[in-house]
């Protein structure tokens, strides 16, 4: 397995507080993770959903736009016919279940994304500088998933109990993160 390097390593700097000394946003990068996409055909949706559920160790597959959490794994329904299984531990691609083309497709996307966690009392206002989504607790509760755009770049956002999580395309993660840190300087931020 290839040793993964952080796409945001150059951005690790000391905490910056706002003018009033507050730290309203916390960023953290999860850089050793696995991301597996499982895609189905319309007629194989149920059986492939069972495969995704088993791979994630969950009881049931989530509906579109939803996520379920099981330990360090998350199963997200990112599109009507696609699930993403996200694990906080790297997984060898050779251990993925084989899939016949007539059933669907299994694809390792781990090295294509950068996973950023954004938390703090100013996390939602910061994200709303760039994402056209109502991130209030009522409109985007825990377990919500959205595939959206940030400056015309596709990103995936979901909410767990502790933070907003965003998967950024790895090749553009550094540039997008610079936008986040520049905008969050008004709130104060730290990057751990």
Per-residue burial over 141-151, b = 16 or more CB atoms within 10 Å of its CB, e = otherwise:
eebbbbbeebe
Domains of the chain: 11-31+112-191 (3.30.1360.120), 34-110 (3.30.70)
pLDDT of 183 higher than 70 = yes
pTM equals 0.88
Looking at residue 16, its pLDDT comes to: 72
* Mean pLDDT to the nearest integer, 52-65: 91
What's the rounded Cα separation, in Å, for the pair 112 and 89? Answer: 16
Contact at 8 Å (CB) between 133 and 140?
Answer: yes
Alpha helices in 2-79 (DSSP H): 45-56
pLDDT tens digits, 121-165 = 999 999 999 999 999 999 999 999 999 999 999 999 999 999 999
Give the pLDDT band of residue 15 (cuts 50, 70, 90): low
Cα within 13 Å of Cα(132), Cβ side: 7
Strand partners, 73: 70, 87
Contact at 8 Å (CB) between 113 and 167?
Answer: yes
DSSP string, 130-158: T--S--STTTS-TTBEEEEEETTEEEEEE
Looking at residue 148, its pLDDT comes to: 96
Closest by CA position to 141, among listed 70, 66, 84: 66
Closest by CA position to 151, among listed 108, 180, 190, 111: 180
Q: How far is CA 4 from CA 33, 73, 142, 151, in A?
A: 9, 19, 29, 26
pLDDT of 14 higher than 70 = no
Contact at 8 Å (CB) between 81 and 40?
Answer: yes
pLDDT tens digits, 24-56 = 999 999 988 999 999 999 999 999 899 899 888
């Amino acid at each position: 397995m290839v040793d993964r390097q952080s796409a945001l390593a150059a951005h690790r700097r000391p905490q910056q507080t706002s003018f009033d000394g507050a730290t309203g946003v916390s960023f953290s990068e999860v850089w050793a993770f696995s991301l597996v996409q499982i895609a189905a055909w319309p007629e194989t949706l149920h059986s492939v959903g069972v495969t995704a559920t088993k791979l994630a160790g969950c009881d049931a597959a989530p509906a579109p736009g939803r996520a379920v959490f099981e330990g360090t794994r998350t199963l997200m329904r990112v599109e009507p016919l696609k699930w993403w299984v996200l694990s906080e531990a790297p997984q060898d691609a050779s251990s993925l279940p084989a899939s016949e083309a007539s059933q669907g497709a299994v694809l390792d996307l781990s090295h294509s994304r950068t996973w950023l966690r954004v938390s703090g009392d100013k996390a939602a206002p910061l994200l709303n500088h760039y994402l056209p989504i109502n991130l209030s607790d009522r409109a985007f509760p825990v377990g919500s998933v959205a595939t959206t755009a940030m400056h015309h770049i596709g990103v995936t956002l979901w909410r767990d109990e502790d933070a907003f999580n965003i998967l950024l395309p790895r090749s553009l993660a550094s540039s997008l993160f610079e936008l986040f840190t520049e905008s969050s300087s008004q709130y104060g931020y730290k990057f751990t």
